[in-house]
Amino acid sequence: MTRDDIPAVATLERIVYPEPWSARVFYDELERDNRRYFVVDDHGTIVGYGGLLLVQDDAHVTTLAVDPAVRRRRLGTRLLLTLVEAALEAGARHLTLEVRVSNVDAQRLYERFGFQPVGRRKGYYRDEDALVMWAIDIDDDAYASRLGEIRAELGEVER
């Protein structure tokens, strides 16, 4: 993600989330050294984005969104794979995130990547609790094998 992408990202943010981040939040995030943000560009249109916060050997998935008009094309899987790979490149050993308790589709995606629920944050969202999920030991051989299977399903080459 670049600063030039932010207007489109902010527009998509308002479509996807009931409590959207402002464009200013994205500008601020891009300025921080311990953040990584990516976009999915579909023929010149941004249809997805995701971000990471890196702290020592932990990485926190701060956001992940795909335009509802292009869902079911495995873009969320590709985007999460990119986030995991960025976390690994930065030296992360564990990943965490929060997800709405009602967002079962997202939870299934995260579980494919080894995330397991470990708790609940009451009132994390204005209108709903969040499920806290962690994927630990993402730097071990078993997790590398998991990522290899996901890449193979996507028809991607091993990195």
Q: Which residue has the higher pLDDT, 83 or 17?
A: 83
Residue 159 lies in a domain: no
Number of domains in the chain: 1
Q: Is 31 a catalytic residue?
A: no
Mean pLDDT of the chain: 95
Residue 29 lies in a domain: yes
Q: Is 89 a catalytic residue?
A: no
pLDDT band at residue 71 under the 50/70/90 scheme: confident
Q: Which of 13, 29, 37, 98 is catalytic?
A: 98
CA distance 113 to 103: 16
Say if residues 124 and 98 touch (Cβ distance below 8 Å): yes
pLDDT band at residue 158 under the 50/70/90 scheme: low
Residue 78 lies in a domain: yes
CA distance 142 to 137: 9
CA distance 52 to 136: 16
Q: What is the CATH number of the domain that holds 116?
A: 3.40.630.30
Q: Which of 37, 49, 110, 143 is catalytic?
A: 110
Residue 105 lies in a domain: yes
CA-closest candidate to residue 125, choices 27, 52, 51, 17:
17
Residue 99 lies in a domain: yes
Instruction: Summarize the confidence of residues 20-45 as an average pLDDT.
Output: 96
Q: Residue 13: its pLDDT value, please? A: 96
User: How far is the CA of 37 from the CAs of 55, 118, 119, in angstroms?
Assistant: 15, 25, 26
Q: Which domain holds residue 84?
A: 3-154
